[in-house]
Structure 1
Amino acid sequence: MEYQETKTPRKRVANFTAHEKALLAKLIKSQPIVESKATDGKSVVKKNAAWALITKEFNSNSNVHKRETITLKRAWDNMKAVIRKSYATERPNVPPLSPQPGPILSMAKEVPPMTMSEINNPHDSDSTTLNTVKNNKEEEVLEDFDNLDYSNSKKNALPKESTNRTRRPMDYIRREAVMRIKHLEIKKKLDIEILKTQLEVEQIKKKSALLEEERNKCLLEKTKIELEELKKLLAK
């Protein structure tokens, strides 16, 4: 009897969606140790721990297919390969051979490769490295997904009121307030001066009336004296 070796077909997994690619890129960006070129024992342990953390956070999100670590690594390698190909098409005077990468692959471009051999750790233990490597929370990752699809966000964006209204600086407002206070003070002083002038005019009028009265009295007395003299002359 001939022995025939049967190969177990690899289980086909669902293709990565745009949402999953974006999530993977953001998680890897928060775990730069996975892009380190170091191959020493400590670095390998830290890389494996970081990938385990990436896998855990990836699978804890909703609307994603549950993936294994090796699947995520393979997907990340494919994304980087597409990026390298897109870089080749961006050379001057060379027409692009394939479509330019979208916003998801642009996110992957931003992930900086690491050249450090290890992460500084005062306790020198791999367990605390996971906490020092983890920089972004799951909520921050999900919050950035709303800005990935530029065309959809542009269509669904609600009009906002213009925030470019001119605002007068504080020093201008202070100067204006000081000028108003000075104006009120000047106006108050003018009103007081006007009242004083009116009082002086009234006093002058009273004095004039008194002088006129005295003059009339003097004329009356003079007239009486003249009449008395006329009477005396007539009596003779």
Structure 2
Amino acid sequence: MSLESKKRKPNWTDDEMKILTSCVIENKDVLFAKLSASVTNEKKKAVWEDIAKQINSSSALCKRETAEIKKKWKDARSIVKKKEASRKYQTKRTGGGPPPESILSIIPDKLISRIDGGVDTAFASNSETSTNTASDPDAEFILNLIGVKERRVIAEERKADALERIAAAFENKFGI
């Protein structure tokens, strides 16, 4: 094989990853469902091909093949799961040092919140969440990550309020 035939494709852009993520979330009911009379391999292949068309229509750099797009999704999901598992492991260890960085701080907020057709877990009842995620472990994992992110935001807001009250008390007491 010559070097020209084995040329490397450019790295995935943020826009390509956003399109991939939104398309997979939009079609997760078909892509990750068990095979049945209504969900066949052909239907899954057609959805992946549609995702490939959407990614290729937005990117002028290169054309991505369906197998390459499926592999990228599998690799990205694997990386997120490994990082979250590592973060959980680090939080259970003893010793000093700063807390580990949450995987949710890496994921853009736009991808986590306000997903069209998504369920806002802050307002969803437990029965809705459990029925939606019972058949999809990836959706359950994502919902758990979103819940962690929301709890961290609430905790940070409480800390900011407490610091403002402390600063106001110092100002009153010492006239600063």
TM-score calculated relative to the size of structure 1: 0.37
Larger Rg over CA atoms: 1
Q: Which structure has more RCO (C-alpha within 8 Å, separation ≥ 6)?
A: 1
TM-score calculated relative to the size of structure 2: 0.48
